[in-house]
Chains A and B, each alone.
Chain A
């Protein structure tokens, strides 16, 4: 079943890509982070950016946002150079949760995604009603209606994550970029937030790119994987990329991909194997 979903989405992606890079490379001073990255992400697909810590996963996401310039190569996002279509992109950065004492409601955080960039004071009552409706709709979509009116700092990690996803969705973006949204969540919440993102992707046709530390919570939903390691990236279907052969070639060292009986993938042999960090999520 996973295989059929993969096939249809790749057919759709051949028409017009949402994200396309050619020969992209990023350099920090003398240090080359990665280079020669060619990728194409089709509309309505769910892709993951995987790889060890420090490989440049978040940097790749920032390239898509136009926040990180390329040293060479090109990047196109939603038919324009990166950064030009920023308002059509929803972004959920990596963060350690809101300050516990911050006195702002969840619903206010969601609202900032809608009109937080506007100057001046909102005066039109008509617009105020539309704003309220748009917020209520997206808060309902992520299932946060019950607690959206409470101060965000008092909410659990999973509840906060649903609200920041709502914030990223409130302007109905065509592309949703998430940076390790499952990190620091317990296993039950990881599964719930992953399922929520998958639902948004399939039901709303939003293209999703998620940086992930551990591929397993999202593995059943993925159309495509971008595996960044050793200064390069491999792009393809999860079953083609997360294999002993492909990853060994990418790392330039022998790594092994093991499949547990429940379908979970474990990469062993690298100092920073994604699935080996599952213990971090225990707390």
Chain B
């Protein structure tokens, strides 16, 4: 069964690309969920859509559009927002919402100008796992590795700045610069994921596995690892299921991620209610 799955180069490339994207999303997403920046992440994913549409319009590879737009939008949101944790935090959502509305309008315009086929639009929004070339896999990897190394370098100060910004600042941690750097990395993660899952289904990998991991454990390192493992697992399972059925991959990945999240929350709530579950679960995992 697996032999058949790996027999086709397009499936191998789909698995490779999916794995890269799942790992990056799982790690970045964990910090995003912790920092309550899912709305920013959502917007960064959507911004990839006009980026890619614009790139196609002027005859470039959509990858340029994804990365260019997501990174620029990440920096704009970071610069225009007050520091996380400050009383002005709510203002950030207004800035993000504005960026999102404008980005979607641009995307719609670009698609109209292109007079393009609607199939292309569906791929931009809902992704395509088929027809991923070796070059695409390599370009995903070439961006993913430095992004993950950068995240590793800033991981501890970023955790400090996310959980306890005031003390972090008093200790000399550059809280503001870290916020900018993180949105930049989040933009990269969103751009990577968008190319595979499409702009609308990015959250299947960027939010659901990290959120599930945080429901299961409050240990930072274990949480990040769990988030990555969950992301890779649903991607592989989703690809396999799509391979043997006529339904799209994105649907399976999203459904599996969602099911894992609901199951994790359900078990937690049930455990907390009966009083039997949480004690061993807490001992082992939190």
Question: Which residue numbers of A lie inside 8 Å of B, CB to CB?
Answer: 65, 67, 86-87, 89, 91-93, 95, 98, 102-105, 108-109, 112-113, 115-122, 149-151, 164, 167-168
Q: Are B286 and A151 in contact (CB under 8 A)?
A: yes
- Is the CB–CB distance between A150 and B34 below 8 Å? no
Chain B residues close to A by CB (< 8 Å): 34, 152-157, 159-160, 163-164, 166-173, 214-215, 217-220, 223, 282, 286
Most chain A CB atoms below 10 A, which of B153, B157, B164: B164
Q: Chain A residues near B157 (CB, 8 Å)?
A: 116-119
B34–A87 CB distance below 8 A: no
A111 to chain B, nearest CB (A): 9
Q: Which of these, A91, A112, A120, contacts B153 with CB under 8 Å?
A: A120
Q: Which of B170, B214, B220 contacts A67 (CB 8 A)?
A: B170
Chain A residues, CB < 8 A from B282: 149-150
CB distance from B46 to the nearest CB of A (A): 25
Establish whether residues A103 and B156, one from each chain, have CB atoms under 8 Å apart when the complex forms: no
- Is A118's CB under 8 angstroms from B156's CB? yes
Query: Which residues on A sit within 8 Å (CB–CB) of B155?
Result: 121
Q: Are B159 and A112 in contact (CB under 8 A)?
A: yes
Contact in complex: B160, A93 (CB < 8 Å): no
Complex alpha-carbon distance, A111 and B214, angstroms: 19
A-B CB proximity, top 8 nearest: A116-B160, A103-B214, A93-B166, A151-B218, A112-B160, A103-B218, A91-B170, A105-B218
Indicate which residue in B156, B170, B215, B217 contacts A86 across the interface (CB closer than 8 Å).
B170
Beta-carbon contact of B152 and A116 below 8 Å = no
Known: A102-B163, A103-B214, A150-B282. A117 touches B168 (CB 8 A): yes
Tell which of A67, A104, A118, A168 touches B163, judged by Cβ atoms closer than 8 Å. A104
CB distance from A176 to the nearest CB of B (A): 12
> In the complex, what distance in Å separates the CA atom of A105 from the CA atom of B163?
11
- Cβ contact within 8 Å between B164 and A109: yes
C-alpha spacing A104/B158, complex, angstroms: 14
Is B171 touching A117 in the complex (CB atoms < 8 A)?
A: yes
Say how far B174's CB is from chain A's closest CB, in angstroms. 10
Which residue of chain A has the shortest Cβ distance to B161 in the bound complex? A116
Asked if B168 contacts A91 (CB within 8 A), the reply is no
Task: List the A side residues contacting B159 at CB < 8 Å.
Answer: 108, 112, 116
| Structural contact, B172 and A117, CB atoms closer than 8 A | yes
B227 to chain A, nearest CB (A): 11
Q: Is the CB of A93 within 8 A of B153?
A: no
A149 to B152, CA, bound (A): 24
- Chain B residues whose CB sits within 8 angstroms of the CB of A87 once the complex forms: 171-172
